[in-house]
Structure 1
Amino acid sequence: MKRMRAFGVVAIAACLCACLLAFAGCSAPAGTGSSDGAQDAAATKTVVDAYGRSVEVPADVQSAATVGSGARFVVYAGGQDKLIAATEMETEPALNRPYTIAYKDLFANLPATSNGNHLLDTNVNEEQLMELAPDVIISSRSAEECDSLQADTGIPVIGITYQNQLFTDNVYTSITCVGEALGTQDHAQEVVSKLKEWDADLKARTADIPDADKPSVYVGAVNYKGAKSFTGTYANYAPLVELGAKNVADETGQKAAIDVDLEQIGNWDPDFMFLNAGNMDLMKADYANNKAFFDDLKAFKEGHLYTQPFFNFNGTNIDTGICDTYFIGATIYPDKFADVDLDAKYSEIYTTLLGVDFYQTMKNAGMGFTALSFS
C-alpha cells in the first residue's frame, strides 16, 4: 500500500512538472520555446537605411552614438536626447554647423568616439564604442564602412548619405530612417513633410521663368578642403539647381566644388555673385591686387554682390542651405518672392530642423543674408 501511495505521489508530481514545463514553453525567452519568432519580433525591428541596408535594431532604442556627421541628422530627426556619444566635431561647436551650437551643452558632456570627419579620412575608437554599448550607431560614412563598423562592434549601424543635397530622396530617407531607428518617427515625418512643402513652394515660384530671363549667377569663396577666395566655386550648386537658375560654373561640366581662375570668372562676367563672407580676408587681398579687373565685372559695377552663410561644412547643413535658396531666389527673382517675409522664413526653417530659432543666433553673431561691398 505504501508503495502504491508513493507511486501515486510520483505520478502526480510528474504530471505537475509536465504542465509547468508546457506552460513555461509558452512564455519562454527567445531561443528556448515555440514562440521564439514572436518574442524576437517584439525585441527588435528592421530599419532600412539610406543605403538600402536592412538593419536589425532594438525595438525600443534608448541610446545612440554617431560617426562622421551623423549627429546632424539625429537632431533633425528629434532624437538628440538619446545621444550618449558623438565626435570631436560636435564637442567643438561652430556657427558653420548650427546643430552644434543649438545643443552645445549636450555635446559638451558627451564622450567623443571618433574624429568626426564626414568625407575625409576618419578614425573610430571601436573599443570605446563597445564599452559605451549604445543601442545603435548613426553614421554618415560609406555603406562599406557602416558594414565594417557593425561587424567589428556588434552594434547595429544605420547609414545616411546627403552631401551637397537639399530636397532629395537621400535627405528624406536619411531623416526618416534615423527617426525610425530612434523611435522619433513622428517628429522625423513632420520635418520631411515641411521639406517637401518648401521644395514645392520654391519650384512653383520659379518654374515658369523663361531661360532668356534668367540672370547668370556665380557662387564664390566656397569652403572645400580649406578656405578659398573668389576662385573657389561650386558646379551643381544645390540652391541654384532648386531654383532652376543659371549657374555659370555648370559650364565646366563638373558636379561639385572646383577651383577656376580669374580669367574664367572674367569670361563668365556673371550678373550676380554670392560670396562667402567668412573668407573676406582672402577676397579683399585678391581685390586689392586686381582692382581694375574686379571693378570691370558686371556684378561689381551694378552692385550685385551678396553674402550668405555657406551650408557645406563637414557635411551639408540642410537648414542653412534652404535659407540660402530662399535668399538667392528673392535676390535674383524679386517679383517671384515679393510676398515672402524672409526673416520669418529663416526662423521657420531653423526651428523646424533644429527645434530652436537659430536664425536669431546668427543675426546676433553678425552672420546673415545681405549685400556686400569691397569699396
Structure 2
Amino acid sequence: MHRNPCIALVAGVGLILGGCGDALDDDPDGGGARETREVEDMLGRSVEVPESAKRIATVNVDAFRMALHLGVEERLVGIPSDMYGSRFSEAKPIEVEAFGRLDEVAMVGGGQPGSEFSAERVLATEPDLFIYWAFSRGDDDQAMAEQAERYEQQLGVPVVALNTLGRERASQEAVEEQIEQAYRLLGEVSGREERAEELLDFYHATVSAVQQRVAGEQPPRVYLAHRRNLYNHVSFYFPVELLGAEMVTAGRAGDDGEVSAEELLSWDPQHILLHTPSRASRVERAEVLDDERLSGVAAIEAERIHRFKGTYMGWDLATGLIDLVHMARVLYPEAMAGVDLRDRGEEILEVFYGDPGLYDRLMELSSLEDG
C-alpha cells in the first residue's frame, strides 16, 4: 500500500531531498465552515475551490498519479475506470499497485484525455472537487474550457482541469512550464504546495544530472515506434527531446502516424525504440529484427532495438525520468557508464510513490532492460 514517507534519501543524481510537506488534515470533513480560494486551472479558468479539498473525484489518470505523488491518495473518492482491466492491460500498472484502496473507491469512468465518464457515479461519491482534463486530441482549449464549465454546472462542484503533457509542445521550456503548472495547481488545491515543490526540485535535478553527462555527445538518429505497430511512429516524447537525440521523423507532416518501410530505409535510424506501456500492448522485438523490408537499416543490423515505457493514458513524471535515464544509457553508453538503471529506477519510484519494489512491476510490464 502506498505510504507518505518523509523523503530523506540520497538519490542517484547526488541530490538530497529532505523534509515533508505539511501533514494531512486528520479531519477530512473539515469540522465546520470551509474556506475557499480562487485558482486558475490549466485552461485559464478561474475556479473557486475549497481551501484544501478533502473529497476528490477524477477521471484524469494524470491527476490520479499526481495525487499519489503528493501523498493525498486517501482523499480520492472517485477514480478513472480504464487504468486497470482495460483493453490496454489486464495487469495492474505501477500506479494501481501503489494505490492500496482500489477495491474501496468508486470507478467513475474515463481514463484517457477527454474520455467520457459517468456524472451519476461522480455525484454518488459526494466530491468537493472534480478534476478533469485540460487536453484532448479532438478539442481545442476553448472547447475544453466550455466542456469543463458544463461539467461544473452539471455536477454542482468545482471542476479543475489539468494534465502533465498537453497540446503546447513548441519548446522544452513550454513543456516544463506545463509540468510545473500541473503539480503546483494540484499542490495548491490539496494544500500540498511544499510537497509539489520538492518533487519538481527532484525532477529538475535528475534531468540536469543526466543532461550534464551527455553534453557534447554526438546526437544519434532514433526512431520511436508506436505500441501498436512498428510502422506507426511516435512523433514526440519529452525524454527524447531532453536528451537532444535526432528524431528521424522530425519535420514530417502531421503527428503520430503511419510510415513506410521505404521511409525507414531512407532515414536509416541508428536506434529503434519501441513504446511499451505493457506486455499486452507492444511490438515484439523479434518481429522487428526479422523484417526483411528493413535489411540494411543501421538499427536492425546492429540489433539496437530498445523498449521505453512512454505514455499511458497521460504521462507519469516518475516513469518519464526512468525512461530518460534508460534512453541516455542506450543512446550514450560511454557517457552513462557506471549508471545502474535498477538503482536509479528504484530511487525515482520511491521518491514519487513512497513504495519500494515498484521497479520490478515496471520491468515486468515494459521490459526496459531486456529489450
Q: Deviations along 1:300-342, whole A, 9 cap, x unmatched?
A: 222322223x221211122222211111111111222224232
Counterparts of 1:124-135 in structure 2, within 5 Å, are 124-135=117-128
Structure 2 CA distance for aligned equivalents of residues 99 and 327 of structure 1:
20
Consecutive unaligned residues of structure 2, counting only runs of 5 or more, are 1-31, 135-143
2:182 pairs with 1:174: yes
Q: Deviations along 1:38-67, whole A, 9 cap, x unmatched?
A: x99x71122232233222112232211002
Tell me what 1:20 maps to: none
Checking the alignment, whether the CA contact within 8 Å between 2:164 and 2:315 is kept in structure 1 is: yes
Tell me what 1:7 maps to: none
SS in 1 for 2:37: strand
Structure 1 CA distance for aligned equivalents of residues 159 and 93 of structure 2:
23
Structure 1 CA distance for aligned equivalents of residues 92 and 244 of structure 2:
26
Shift of 1:280: 5.5
Structure 1 CA distance for aligned equivalents of residues 313 and 56 of structure 2:
20
Checking the alignment, whether the CA contact within 8 Å between 1:138 and 1:160 is kept in structure 2 is: yes
SS in 2 for 1:57: strand
Tell me what 1:56 maps to: 48
SS in 2 for 1:335: coil
Checking the alignment, whether the CA contact within 8 Å between 1:230 and 1:283 is kept in structure 2 is: no
Checking the alignment, whether the CA contact within 8 Å between 1:135 and 1:155 is kept in structure 2 is: yes
Tell me what 1:108 maps to: 103
Tell me what 2:204 maps to: 196
Counterparts of 1:38-187 in structure 2, within 5 Å, are 43-69=35-61, 70-90=63-83, 92=85, 97-103=93-99, 105-119=100-114, 122-141=115-134, 142-163=144-165, 168-187=176-195
Matched to 1:92, the amino acid is G
Counterparts of 1:318-333 in structure 2, within 5 Å, are 318-333=317-332
Shift of 1:174: 0.8
| Percentage of pairs with the same residue | 20
In structure 2, the CA distance between the partners of 1:330 and 1:282, relative to structure 1 (3 Å rule), is closer
Tell me what 1:247 maps to: 247
Aligned pairs, number: 317
SS in 2 for 1:334: coil
Tell me what 2:362 maps to: 362
Structure 1 CA distance for aligned equivalents of residues 112 and 303 of structure 2:
38
Consecutive unaligned residues of structure 1, counting only runs of 5 or more, are 1-38
Matched to 1:157, the amino acid is V
Checking the alignment, whether the CA contact within 8 Å between 1:62 and 1:182 is kept in structure 2 is: yes
2:304 pairs with 1:304: yes
Counterparts of 1:201-216 in structure 2, within 5 Å, are 201-209=209-217, 213-216=218-221
Structure 1 CA distance for aligned equivalents of residues 355 and 220 of structure 2:
35
In structure 2, the CA distance between the partners of 1:238 and 1:91, relative to structure 1 (3 Å rule), is closer
Matched to 1:112, the amino acid is M
SS in 1 for 2:273: strand
Structure 2 CA distance for aligned equivalents of residues 281 and 178 of structure 1:
35
SS in 2 for 1:106: coil
SS in 2 for 1:344: helix
Checking the alignment, whether the CA contact within 8 Å between 1:162 and 1:174 is kept in structure 2 is: yes
2:339 pairs with 1:340: yes
CA RMSD of aligned residues (A): 2.7
Tell me what 1:219 maps to: 224
Shift of 1:236: 2.9
In structure 2, the CA distance between the partners of 1:297 and 1:216, relative to structure 1 (3 Å rule), is same
TM-score, scaled to structure 1:
0.76
Structure 1 CA distance for aligned equivalents of residues 84 and 303 of structure 2:
40
Specify the structure having the higher radius of gyration (Cα): 1
Q: Which has the higher contact order (CA 8 A, sep 6+)?
A: 2
Matched to 2:259, the amino acid is V
Shift of 1:296: 2.4
Structure 1 CA distance for aligned equivalents of residues 67 and 77 of structure 2:
12
Q: Deviations along 1:82-113, whole A, 9 cap, x unmatched?
A: 0011121245385684212221x412221122
Q: Please, which moves more after superposition, 78-87 or 60-69?
A: 60-69
Checking the alignment, whether the CA contact within 8 Å between 1:139 and 1:159 is kept in structure 2 is: yes
Shift of 1:151: 2.0
Structure with the higher fraction of residues in helix conformation: 1
Structure 2 CA distance for aligned equivalents of residues 313 and 280 of structure 1:
12
Shift of 1:207: 3.6
Shift of 1:271: 0.9
SS in 1 for 2:194: helix
SS in 2 for 1:219: strand
